[in-house]
């Protein structure tokens, strides 16, 4: 193969990679925008002064022997949720986050973004707040589509993350080649 043919071959490869890079970016611009902005917020959630992720408060005892039973704390949290937010709001739990070293139990709910922090020993309310970080995480990983469209096993977020992961891989490969390719052509 001659140098001229070799250069033409590399030039065609570069043109193809430019086209893939440009076309993919046009179709996925909005998704990349939301993933990057939500990722930025998630990176700052613990440093947002409680705006994105509510600050974890401190309870009266870190000794689990002094704590109320978990089912009692759960009932107290649900009562506070219904009294403070809405009598009709779902009390279905996503998770219970126990912070023994801070004496706190956090109740995070499945169907909305309210969270309640209770003192593990007394059951007193330490905080009730909207967990914006959970909403942002749902945007970031695409599970917000599953949540609002009612898909039960995360099919939409799986497709979403697969497409974005493959697109990022494609951008990495084509972007590298768009940087390296011209250097390689100049050398030949």
Say yes or no to pLDDT of 1 above 60.
no
Is the backbone of residue 168 left (phi > 0), alpha (psi -120 to 50) or beta?
Answer: alpha
CA distance 61 to 30: 47
Say yes or no to pLDDT of 51 above 80.
yes
pLDDT for 147: 84
pLDDT for 73: 98
Residue from 73, 63, 147, 145 nearest 116 by CA: 73
Quote the mean pLDDT of the chain: 89
DSSP 88: T
Say yes or no to pLDDT of 70 above 80.
yes
**Structural contact between residues 1 and 179, judged by C-beta atoms closer than 8 angstroms:** no
Q: How far is CA 130 from the centre of its chain?
A: 16
Q: Lowest mean pLDDT of 74-83, 89-98, 133-142, 146-155, name the range.
A: 146-155
pLDDT for 4: 67
Confidence of residue 122 (pLDDT cuts 50, 70, 90): very high
Instruction: Name which residue leads in pLDDT, 80 or 14.
Output: 80
Residues pairing with 117 in the sheet: 106, 127
CA distance 65 to 39: 39
Confidence of residue 2 (pLDDT cuts 50, 70, 90): low
pLDDT for 168: 86
* Mean pLDDT, range 11-33, rounded to an integer: 83
Q: Which pair of structure tokens corresponds to residue 83? A: 């009294």
């Amino acid at each position: 193969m001659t140098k001229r043919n070799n250069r033409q071959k590399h030039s065609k490869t570069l043109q193809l990679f430019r086209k893939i890079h440009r076309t993919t970016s046009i179709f996925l611009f909005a998704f990349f925008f939301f993933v990057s902005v939500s990722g930025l917020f998630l990176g700052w959630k613990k440093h947002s002064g409680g705006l994105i992720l509510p600050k974890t408060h401190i309870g009266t005892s870190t000794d689990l022997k002094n704590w109320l039973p978990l089912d009692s704390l759960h009932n107290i949290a649900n009562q506070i949720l219904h009294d403070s937010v809405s009598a009709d709001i779902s009390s279905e739990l996503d998770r219970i986050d126990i912070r023994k070293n801070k004496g706190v139990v956090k109740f995070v709910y499945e169907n909305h973004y309210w969270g309640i922090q209770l003192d593990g020993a007394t059951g007193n309310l330490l905080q009730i707040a909207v967990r914006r970080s959970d909403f942002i995480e749902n945007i970031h990983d695409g599970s917000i589509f599953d949540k609002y469209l009612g898909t039960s096993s995360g099919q939409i977020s799986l497709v979403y993350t697969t497409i974005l992961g493959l697109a990022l891989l494609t951008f990495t490969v084509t972007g590298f080649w768009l940087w390296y390719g011209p250097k390689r052509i100049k050398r030949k």
